Every structure is written in structure tokens, then in C-alpha cells.
Amino acid sequence: MRGTIVHLTTVHKPEDIRVFRKECVSLARAGYHVCLVAPAPEDRKADGVDVLATGEASGRLKRMTAGVANAIARALRSGAEVYHFHDPELIVAGVLLKGLGKRVIYDVHEDVPDDVMSKEYLPEGVRRGVSHLAAAVEWIGAVFFDRIVAATPHIARRFPARKTVVVQNFPIVDELLAVEGVPYDQRPPRAIFTGGILASRGAVEMVRAMGLLGGGCHLDLAGKFRPVSLQGRLEREAGWRWVHFHGWCARPEMARLLGQSRVGLVLFHAEPNHVHAQPNKLFEYMSAGIPVVASDFPLWREIVEGAGCGLLVDPLDVEGIAGAVRRLLQNPEEAERMGRNGLTAVRERYNWGAEARKLLEVYRQVAPQPGG
């Protein structure tokens, strides 16, 4: 159908913030008929977007075979002319769609070759070979695709400049500002971490820092453990007694938790895919008006020190983490000022509004006009 565009994912949930809330909803509001093919139990319509369910494949192998085939079949039945996919495992499918005369956009969320080097399920001896293979597959795909949408400037450097646009994963202004948030100086001593809870994202160090603080700070964890067994490992840590695990939270609940927090933690380890990343949670903490304690990577230092919105630490230094959290708790005026600085930086620079305009420009160049 002319004017219809399809976003495809076999990895992300249909509620994914970048895929659905930012990109699909922005395009629907611009007048496009948007379909999102995603792993979900049933079809539905949400915020002007038709969500086309593919079921939830169990296991990585099944997802990458039957899941991909099912997603492509559902996408083709839409009769769309433009297909925008979000997962590296869909690259071959994207090339096939291009062969059928469709216009194809590849949305690159991660530095895939670097990400492969951190995959614990791959034996160390084969990671480098798989990383090189992933880079080659992406490069070949880029030759065919109409546009590459890269989530960071670092990712964009790996693709042809003439067809690559950087659309950064910045937050929607004021989305996570709690309507009934507790005034900062009245909040209890609480830190927060949101998103996937992994050892490589500092989960162990965060809990141990709570142990060093000895009840002087509580930690809210909002997300899912990867792997699930990590939860049991953390529960054996002394600091777990001061941790409150909420599981996955919808956005209103996330806003509520952020509105009760004094500190946001972003303590990724210095792995290849982390050092140049721009983690969504960093900007979401800023958008909620709370100061951050973040890993001291050059790019993150530029953001945090540039905005004056938090403190930087070695993510492996538990005492350093605890000390940074303690400083913010013991100096609430300084901490609140940092939180305001972060919120100002989001409203003026690091926000989805500017990125949405870049995405819409991509579609003006590639897609039929809305309603055409």
C-alpha cells in the first residue's frame, strides 16, 4: 500500500523506546501509515501504529530462523514500499527485500563488531572471527540498502557517508519527569539503575557499593537480569539487603521511581561496545533531573562534565563508586544543581525532537509522501 512503511524487529519488544515510542510514533504523527512487525502475542494498534505480531520465539536459534522468516512474511503482506529493520540478524532479509524492489533502511543501534567481542555465550577463541564476519556482512548490506540510520556518530563512521544519517537515541523531553515527584531535598537516600541488568553494566559493583555504604543508601533496580542466574549471584552479596528489585517497569512507573531517586548509576565496564556508546539511561537520568555517577570514558566525560550533571568514576572501583554516591547524598544542594544542569542540557541539546526531524528528512528522501 502506497504511503505504508514497515519497521521490523525480531529482537526488540513492541514497546521498545527507540523503535516504537520514538521512531514509529513520530512517523505516524507525521502522517505515515506505520506498521511494526515485532515479537508479540497478538496484533494491536497503539498510538497510531499497527503492531503486527509474530509470536515470541523461544531460543536464539529459533528466533534467528523461524522468527526471521515469520517477520518477513508478515511484513510483505502489508504491501509496503519501505522497510526499516532494527536487528543485524535481518540483514540478509533486508538484501532480499531490496532484490524485490523495496526501499530498505537499516537502523544500527549498536557497534555490532565490537558488541560481538563482549558476547559471553561465544567462546573467546571465535569472537574475533565472528566480529570480522559481522563487519563484512554489514558492509555488504550497506551496499544494497537505501539508507543507514546510525544511533551514534561512532557507529556511523563504519558506513558510507553518502547514505548514512545519525539519529541519536536521546530522550523525549519531560517524558520521565514525575508529575508528582518528591522535591529533591525531601527524597530519601536512593540510587537507581534502569534497563538490562548485566555484570558488564556494573551490576556487581553497584550492589557491593551499597554494602560499603552500609544502609546509607538504597538501590532501586528496574529491569531484567541477563542472564537470569545473575540475580542469585547478587542476592548472595552483603549489599543486596539494601536493594529493591522492581523487574521491568512501564514508563509511568519508571518516572515515579526516578522522581524518588537522588542518584542515577551508569557504570558500564570498559568493553569495546561500551566505551563509545551513548547509553539511553544516561540521558534519561538527566531528563528526570537527577545527577549521575557514570563510568569515566572519554565520550561520557565530555557529556557529563560538559553539562555539569554528575560525577565520573572507575566502574571497577567499588570504593570510588560508593564515595561518589556518598558525596552526592551528603551535598544535596550540589547534587540538585547537577540534576538541574542535566535537565537543561536535555531540553536544549540532548532531546528526541531534533533527532525526529532528522528521521523525517530521511523519509522525505526515501519514502512516498504520507497519505500518497
Nearest CA among 111, 184, 99 for reference residue 143 = 99
DSSP secondary structure string for all residues of 90-132 = GHHHHHHHHHTT-EEEEEE-S-HHHHHTT-TTS-HHHHHHHHH
Q: Is the pLDDT of residue 372 over 70?
A: no
Q: Is the pLDDT of residue 371 over 60?
A: no
Q: Which residue has the cell 568514576?
A: 313
Average pLDDT over residues 312-330: 98
Collapsing DSSP to helix, strand or coil, 244 comes out as: strand
Tell me the C-alpha distance between 261 and 184, whole Å: 8
Q: Is the pLDDT of residue 327 over 80?
A: yes
Strands 103-108 and 147-150 turn out to be parallel
Judge whether 90 and 10 are in contact, CB under 8 Å.
yes
Tell me the C-alpha distance between 112 and 122, whole Å: 14
Q: Between helices 203-213 and 318-330, what is the axis angle to 10°? A: 60
Assign domain 4-170+351-366 to its CATH architecture. 3-Layer(aba) Sandwich (3.40)
Mean pLDDT score across all residues of the chain: 93
Question: pLDDT tens across 149-190, in order?
Answer: 999 999 999 999 999 999 999 999 988 887 677 899 999 999
Tell me the C-alpha distance between 325 and 335, whole Å: 10
Radius of gyration of the chain (CA): 21
Residues 6+ apart with CB under 8 A from 236: none
Q: Is the pLDDT of residue 1 over 60?
A: no
Domain with CATH 3.40.50.2000 in the chain: 4-170+351-366, 184-348
Q: Is the pLDDT of residue 204 over 60?
A: yes
Q: Which three cell numbers stand for residue 261?
A: 531517586
pTM exceeds 0.85: yes
Question: pLDDT tens across 35-88, in order?
Answer: 999 999 999 999 999 999 998 767 777 888 888 999 999 999 998 989 999 999
Q: How many residues does the chain have?
A: 372
Judge whether 250 and 276 are in contact, CB under 8 Å.
no
Query: What is the residue type of 36?
Result: L
Assign domain 184-348 to its CATH architecture. 3-Layer(aba) Sandwich (3.40)
Average pLDDT over residues 88-93: 94
